Amino acid sequence: MSVHYGRKCQVWEVQRTTFLVLVYLLPLLTSATDDYYTSLVGLQKLARVEQQIVSAISEYVTNLERRLQLAKRYLNDYEKSVLPAMSAEEGPSETEQPVTKLTVYNNEKDLNKLAEKVSSHPLMTYRLIRRYAKELLDFEKDLRKDHDKQFSRVMEKIRKGLVLPKVNDVNGAIEGLLRIQDAYDVDIAHFSKGSFNGLRTNSGLLAIDCYHVGLYSLKSHVYTRAIEWLEQAYLMTTEDNDTSIDSQTVHEALQEAVRQHNAAIHQTVRNPYVYRAAVNRNLTDRGSRVRVLATKQYKLYMKDSSMMDFTNFAALCNGTHLRVPSATKDLKCWYETKSPHFLLDPLKVEMHHRNPPVLQIYEVLPDWMISRILAKASPSMVRSKVQGTLENKEIASAVRTSTTTWLPESEDKILKRIPQRVELLTGLKVTEPGSAEDLQISSYGIGGHYNPHFDTLFDTATMSSVSKEEVLMGDRIATFMFYLSDVERGGGTAFPRLGVVTSPIKGSAIFWYNMMSDGKPDLLSLHGGCPVLYGNKWVANKWIRSNAQMFTRPCSLDRD
């Protein structure tokens, strides 16, 4: 079995900044723990369990409505039998008159009159006896069923072993929505109604949902988003007849967001989440507002950390082409048959970047093997962590919103084939002890992403905590990442310094080197996972260690 450096991927800080540039770069208000909003397995479990909850509540409502109908049946019969006769000036009424308000007689005079009326009227007498013998009896019988206790027992059984989502999960889900909005520049009017970049889902948000997203953004000082979401909530209450929240409540919050925004644009340290000019308090300038970050420039092949890494990352995730045609004209796709293993079944290879190489190989894993991997991984998925700066401890962080587990291939005869396949595909040593790490499986939920990072582990800040076993294995010379699912929208892998983004296609894999030929980290290998806009993203990482490659990829004085 391979040894792992904390069994997690380290994140190198690209640059410390005093403000947010994009929502998905840093956390807002949530503290990262093992949360539902990052867990596909957890979310899918909630979706399944909710069907039982809906069934239980539906049955409970049916029982309550039945009880209510029994009570109403008794009262309606009383109203139509007794009250018309009591209100008639001359004798009993020939037809039942509608009664708008239930009258109950308490004083002795009225009670005597009522008793005489009922006892003297044959039909009222019959209905009185029937109400006691039938309607009242049925109602009391239903009361003895104790639907509340029955419902509580059913719910207790359903919830057994289930940890319910908390406020932190709600906030995390909101951050996911904001992350999607920033990464893909989605139009809120369409997004809130369930349309994702041309994909219509017929399931959107209510005005109260938009209101809560806006409030959360306001508390986080993300003023442009707060105004946009609160405006959308207000429009839904005033134009779409959405009654989930009072329009005045939304309007007051919107005015507060405008007030705070207009105060923020004059601050010395400029908040990137403001417009270039004050917002009209009458909100008549909606179409003419320009954000501070609206104009962007893109530079490639920069090896020094800067905010350009994040700007490029966001642009690539959003589908912007950063490379000029002359830089991509020599890229190609081909069938690889050099190895005897691939003569009858050639590899389908696409070159995304020539130097350093970024390759995508298609149809590497069949569906049945992917199903086997996911079945083995799902029960043990936990919140992904990154290398922290405090005492070199691993921490859950909004830098990476996913869940992870590790699968030792040595414990499964099917999984043993994976390192063998990677070795054939790359020409690197992968099957020998210490040549590679176990397979890491990750899943990404709502807006799930991984900020730009390096896969290499060793640096001066962490070497003191690295075990001898890790040192003997060497650093992560290369990454072989399998896509275990298709993703309908988003979820690509972006290399901001190369201007490359790969698409998550089920069964394919991407390969790149993390280290130069001279053994130093390749600073152009910076990469990250784009937020998932719609769909489920599963990946498997196979990290290949350097020391076992001394003969297959010997160290050179030439950095290239």
How far is 383 from 400, CA to CA, in rounded Å? Answer: 9
65, HSE (Cβ side, Cα atoms, 13 Å) = 6
Ranges of H-type helices in 427-499:
468-473
| CATH 1.10.10.60 matches 166-288 | no
Query: pLDDT tens string for the chain (560 positions)?
Result: 333 333 333 333 333 232 334 444 334 444 444 467 677 888 888 888 999 999 999 999 999 999 999 999 999 988 888 888 777 644 444 444 444 567 888 889 989 988 988 898 899 899 999 999 999 999 999 989 888 888 999 999 998 888 888 888 899 899 999 999 888 888 899 999 999 878 888 899 999 999 999 999 999 999 999 999 999 999 999 999 999 999 999 999 999 999 999 998 887 666 778 888 889 888 777 666 766 655 567 899 999 888 899 989 999 999 999 999 999 999 999 998 877 888 888 989 999 999 999 999 999 999 999 999 999 999 888 876 555 444 445 544 455 567 899 999 888 888 999 999 999 999 999 999 999 999 999 999 878 889 999 999 887 666 777 788 888 999 999 999 999 999 999 999 999 999 999 999 999 999 999 999 988 999 999 999 999 999 999 999 999 999 999 888 877 656 55
How far is 421 from 427, CA to CA, in rounded Å? Answer: 10
pTM of the model as a whole: 0.79
Q: Which residues contact 360 (CB under 8 A, 6 or more apart)?
A: 349, 350, 352, 502, 505, 508, 509, 510, 511
Residue 528 CB-density burial (10 A; 0-12 exposed, 13-18 middle, 19+ buried) = buried
CATH class belonging to 303-549: mainly beta
Q: 343's torsion region: left (phi>0), alpha (psi -120 to 50) or beta?
A: alpha
Structure tokens at 104: 């109950």
Instruction: Name the residue ranges covered by the structural domains of the chain.
Output: 52-159, 166-288, 303-549
Distances (CA, A) of 301 to 184, 288, 308, 495: 23, 35, 11, 10
